[in-house]
Amino acid sequence: MTTKSYSSRTTLWDDEVSADRAAPQNRGAWRAPSAVLGTRRGVSAIPSVAQQEEADELPVPRRSKMAVAQTRWWWPRSTFGRVLLGTGAFLVVAGAVTLGIVTRNFLVRDAHFRIPGASSIESSGLSEVNRTEVLPVFGEDIGRNIFFVPLGDRRKQLESIPWVQQATVMRYLPDRLSVSIVERTPVAFVRQGNQVELADADGVILQMPPAMMAQHHYSFPVVTGINPQDPASVRRARMAVYQRFVAELDQNSQHLTEQVSEIDVTDPEDLRAVMPEQGSDILAHFGYEQFLHRLEIYKAHIGEWRGRYPKLIGVDLRYNGEVPLEMATDAPGAAATATPARDAGSAAANTGAKSEPATARTATTAQPEKSKAVKEPLTKASIAAHKAAEAKKKALKLKADKARAAHAKAEKAKTAKARAENAAAAVHAASHKSVHPAGGAVQQGQ
């Protein structure tokens, strides 16, 4: 292994000259390694802190325009190239604008995009709403360009029809409109003066001829206190109380609302119901909650109250522990009052009325000029009997639920057992099968 020696250069480790090597004559005086390092090219000492601070204070030179232009690969370097690029961009933008204008003019002026007639307006979801009520909404759109039909305005006009709860209007190119209608569902009869109309859950009055009511076989209690002039929020709140009352009384298929002929929701905090009782009507105050519980109290004590107070006309069930009773004072010349029928449509059909609205059956009672109230306390015995009846009813219901659960469990176990037996039989049959030695059929083992 040979090494090159540099006679004119001093290394870091060259502090002493080897004894067996002759010192060069032109080497000069001896210098320290640090001095040698300071004169070497490519080797620099670490700058001091002051030098670093001065370097930081120096301004950073900005990049030249040529350097910036070189970083943008799409930007031409010559003036001619930049002019050519700008001209091309202008032509592209002008072409796009021209194409948009031509397309718009074609869509606006072409006859293919004009609605030719009523046959191009399709409608769906119509049951109680006639098509003759829908088409006038689009009367001024016949012959109009389909892109200029205000769909939002047409939707609002359709929803202003009483029977329309929600409407959807869509345009189909080139010249068709599609109308989808969701109709309102009646939930009650509403008394309007001497007439009885239908109403939905929002308190919207729905007019229908009596003959059509009879065809639908509607059977609702008659609701009073719904005025079309009231705000929609007020009517909606009153109908919400009515719906809670009906839902609570008709739960578990009990249909207890059949015992109610008229419901007054004028005050949502105090729902009042007219209860027919052996030829006379009792006005019961149910408040705004616990309707089923208060009806059970009423049914449990009404016979006793009527026996003790023959002139009973009102019962207030809103208080716990006692029930204020209202008595009638007979007056000469009292007028007869009308009690609405539950099935107003059937009544109108039976009377053969065609143009007149549905009427209600009437029952003559004395109209009191004055009345007096009596507070009838609920005795401990009656309260205990009521609680015992409730407990017995709950126990019977729980027993029936347990019996149904046990029966379902037994049926499930029986089905699982039958499946297991079938699977075992299939496995047993498969285990007795063997392949014929000749490689043909499968024979059943003995």
Task: Tell me whether residue 278 is exposed, middle or buried, using C-beta atoms within 10 angstroms of its C-beta: 0 to 12, 13 to 18, 19 or more.
Answer: exposed
Residue 220 · residue 342 · CB < 8 Å? yes
Q: Give 273's strand partners.
A: 263, 284
Please give the C-alpha separations between residue 416 and each of 352, 409, 410, 413, in angstroms, as whole numbers. Answer: 61, 10, 10, 5
Secondary-structure percent of the chain, ordered helix, strand, coil, rounded to 5: 45, 20, 35
Q: Give 183's strand partners.
A: 164
Stated pTM of the model: 0.55
The pairing of beta strand 121-124 with beta strand 176-183: parallel
pLDDT at residue 340 in the model: 38
Nearest CA to 244 out of 217, 266, 271, 226 is that of 271
Residue 341 · residue 196 · CB < 8 Å? no
Helix axis angle, 232-249 to 291-308, nearest 10°: 70
Task: Provide the b/e sequence for 304-329 (b: ≥16 CB within 10 Å).
Answer: ebbeeeebbbbbbbbeeeebebbbbe
Listing DSSP states for 342-390 in one string gives S-HHHHHHHHT-SSSPP---B------SEEEEEEEE--HHHHHHHHHHH
DSSP 8-state class, residue 163: T
**CA dihedral sign, ordered 108, 113, 116, 119:** negative
CA–CA gap between residue 76 and residue 89 (Å, rounded): 14
DSSP 8-state class, residue 60: P
CATH code of the domain occupying 186-378: 3.40.50.11690
pLDDT in 10s for each residue of the chain, 446 residues: 444 544 555 444 444 444 445 445 555 555 555 544 454 444 445 556 556 656 555 555 555 555 555 567 888 888 888 888 889 999 999 999 988 888 877 777 788 888 998 889 999 999 889 899 999 999 899 988 898 899 999 999 999 998 999 999 999 988 899 999 999 999 999 988 888 899 999 999 998 888 888 888 888 889 999 998 999 999 999 999 999 999 999 988 888 888 898 999 999 999 999 999 887 899 999 999 999 999 999 999 999 998 899 889 999 999 887 889 998 876 544 433 333 334 444 444 333 333 333 333 333 333 333 345 566 555 555 556 556 656 666 666 676 677 777 777 877 777 777 777 776 666 666 555 443 444 443 333 33
Q: Do the domains spanning 113-183 and 186-378 agree at the CATH topology level?
A: no
Please give the structure tokens belonging to residue 405: 């659960």
* Residues near 328 by beta carbon (within 8 Å), at least 6 away in sequence: 311, 312, 313, 366, 368, 371
> What superfamily in CATH does domain 113-183 come from?
membrane protein fhac (3.10.20.310)
Domain range list for the chain: 73-109, 113-183, 186-378
pLDDT at residue 219 in the model: 86
* Residues near 273 by beta carbon (within 8 Å), at least 6 away in sequence: 221, 245, 260, 262, 263, 264, 283, 284, 286
Residue written as token pair 């109108």: 348
